[in-house]
Chains A and B, each alone.
Chain A
Amino acid sequence: AQSVTQPDIHITVSEGASLELRCNYSYGATPYLFWYVQSPGQGLQLLLKYFSGDTLVQGIKGFEAEFKRSQSSFNLRKPSVHWSDAAEYFCAVVDNTNAGKSTFGDGTTLTVKP
């Protein structure tokens, strides 16, 4: 069965600093990978996705992520964090052999210091 691990429960960065959120997955085949963001009390919004091809993918709000098959990782990055980026971030993997079911990590909460 597929699984997703987000090692960092909570990360704090200063506004303007760079950000990297870690995601490791376990999946037998080439995965479909996603990052979603959730503001408090709201639903999740898609940031970016990887299906195939270029391993560096660009998303909304200036985010990018890099797929590294050898490390089973799909880390999310942003060069300069804004206060509005404070939220919870979820990494997800889709099982294409099982009705496209998504498995989510437990999330990383980002706090941005002024």
Chain B
Amino acid sequence: DGGITQSPKYLFRKEGQNVTLSCEQNLNHDAMYWYRQDPGQGLRLIYYSQIVNDFQKGDIAEGYSVSREKKESFPLTVTSAQKNPTAFYLCATGSGANVLTFGAGSRLTVL
């Protein structure tokens, strides 16, 4: 089945640690996105990539980094510079006409 796989589902981080969230897709979509979701705030765009080896900052990129070395993969690193990293993180791909397909999400908790 085609889809998006996010891992891990749950992740705990200590203060000062960097963590990386994985996003893998087999939909053959060019565009990939990372969103952050907090209660009552909807989805906010962190980074997006429209093609391999290229990516752009979204609305809340500070404290995050990404790479896009392969079409299938778009990992997100939450760095120690992100002051409030506890959130639900969603990866999505974009097909024609900008329809988004989402992964199941990763929940990050800072201890």
Taking Cβ atoms with an 8 Å cutoff, the residues of B that contact A are 4, 6, 31, 33, 40-43, 45, 48, 50, 56, 58, 88, 90, 92, 94, 97-105, 107
Contact = CB atoms under 8 A, between A and B. Distances in A.
A100 B100 CA distance: 10
Interface in A84-114: 90, 92, 94, 96, 99-102, 104-107
A46 B99 contact: yes
Interface string A27-48: 0000010101000011111100
Contacts of B92: 43-44
Interface residues of A, number: 24
B48 A101 contact: yes
A9 interface: yes
Given A90-B43, A101-B45, A34 B102 contact: no
B104 A43 contact: yes
Interface in A1-59: 9, 32, 34, 36, 41-46, 49, 51
